[in-house]
Structure 1
Amino acid sequence: MSEQKKKRNLWKTLPGFVISAFFLWRTLTGIHFKTIQSIRFVDRWWFAALAIALITGYTLRVYRWWLMLRASGAPGFGVCARVLLTSFAANNVLPFRIGDFLRVFGYAEELGSSSSSILGTVILERLLDMFMLLSFLTAAVATSTHVLTFPMFGHDVRILSFALPVLAVVTLGVAAFLLFARQMETLVRGLVGALPAGRLVDKAESWILLAFDSVKKLSLTAKLMLLFTSLGAWFCEGIIFVAASRVMGLVVGARGPWLALSLSNLSYLIPSSPGAIGTFEYFCKLGMVSQGGKPDLAAVYGLLVHVIVLLTITVAGGIAFFMHRAGRARVIARADRAEVASERKTPVRN
Structure 2
Amino acid sequence: MTGPGNPHGGDAGEKSAPAPKKGKRELWKLIPGFAISAFFLWRTIKSIHYDDLRSLHVVQPVWIGVMIAFLLGSYTLRIYRWWFMLRRSGAAGFGVCSRVLLTSFAANNVLPFRIGDFLRVFTYAGDLNASSSTILSTVILERLLDIFTLLAFLVALLLGAAHALPPVVVRGHELNVLHFAEPVLVLCAVGLILLLFGAPLLQRVVESVVRRLPAGARTEKLQRWALLLFDAVLKLSFAGRVLLLVSSIAIWLCEGMIFVSLSRMLAIAVLPRGPWLAVALSNLGFLIPSSPGAIGVYESFCKAAMTSQGAAPGISGIYGILVHVVVFFSVTIAGGVAFLAHRMARGAASRPLRADLADLPVEMPADLPPGISS
Give 5+ residue unaligned stretches, structure 2. Answer: 5-18, 352-374
1:218 aligns with 2:225: no
**Moved segments of 4+, more than 6 Å:** 150-156
Alignment partner for residue 40 of structure 2, among 13, 23, 35?
23
Correspondence 1:190 to 2:208: yes
2:165 equivalent to 1:165 = no
Cα distance in 2 between the residues matched to 1:260 and 1:177:
27
Matching of residues 87-102 of structure 1 within 5 Å: 87-102=104-119
Structure 1 residues 328 and 158, CA, compared in 2 at 3 Å: closer, same or farther?
farther
8 Å contact from structure 1 (residues 104, 115) kept in 2? yes
Q: State the AA in 2 paired with 1:280.
A: Y
Q: Which digits, 9 at most, give the CA deviation of each residue in 1:52-72, with x for residues without a partner?
A: 000011000100111111111
Aligned mates of 1:259, 1:197 — CA distance in 2: 43
Deviation at 1:149, TM superposition (A): 2.7
Question: So what's the TM-score if we normalise by structure 1?
Answer: 0.88
> In 2, distance between residues paired with 1:144 and 1:196?
45
Runs (5+) with no aligned partner, structure 1: 334-350
The more displaced of 97-106 and 47-56 is 97-106
TM superposition shift of 1:141? 1.5
Match of 1:11 in 2: 28
Structure 1 residue 46 and structure 2 residue 63: aligned? yes
Q: 2:259 aligns with which of 237, 241, 247?
A: 241
Cα 1:211–1:144, aligned 2, differ >3 Å: closer, same or farther? closer
Q: Residue 253 of structure 1 aligns to a residue in which SS?
A: coil
Give a deviation string over 1:309-350, Cα, whole Å, max 9, x none.
0000001011111111111126679xxxxxxxxxxxxxxxxx
The match for 1:134 is: 151
Q: Secondary structure at the match of 1:149?
A: coil
2:269 aligns with 251
Q: Do the aligned partners of 2:152 and 2:188 also contact (CA within 8 Å) in 1?
A: no
- Which entry has the higher C-alpha Rg, 1 or 2? 1
- Size of the aligned set, in residue pairs, is 333
Deviates more, 1:37-46 or 1:180-189: 180-189
11-20 vs 131-140, which moves further = 131-140
Higher alpha-carbon deviation: 24-33 or 47-56: 24-33
Does the Cα contact within 8 Å between 2:136 and 2:228 map onto a contact in 1? no
> Are 1:72 and 1:214, in contact at CA under 8 Å, matched by a contact in 2?
no
Identify if the C-alpha distance between structure 1 residues 162 and 319 changes in structure 2 by more than 3 Å, giving closer, same or farther: farther
Aligned-residue CA RMSD (Å): 2.3
Structure 1 residues 157 and 264: alpha-carbon distance in aligned structure 2, compared to 1, 3 A threshold: farther
Q: How many angstroms apart in 2 are the aligned matches of 1:332 and 1:256?
A: 46
- CA deviation string 1:206-251 (max 9, x = no partner): 4532431221110111111111111111111011000000111101
Q: Which residue type is aligned with residue 101 of structure 1?
A: F
Amino acid at match of 2:293: G
Cα deviation, residue 115, structure 1: 1.9
Q: 1:157 to 1:119 in 2, by over 3 A?
A: farther
Residue 60 in 1 paired to residue 77 in 2? yes
Write out aligned runs for 1:1-350 (5 A): 1=4, 2-144=19-161, 146-149=163-166, 158-194=176-212, 205-329=223-347
**Does the 8 Å CA contact 1:117/1:211 hold for their aligned counterparts?**
no
Partner of 1:339: none
How far does the alpha carbon of each residue in 1:2-47 deviate from its partner, in whole angstroms, 9 at most, with x for none? 2211211121111111111111111111211122122211101100
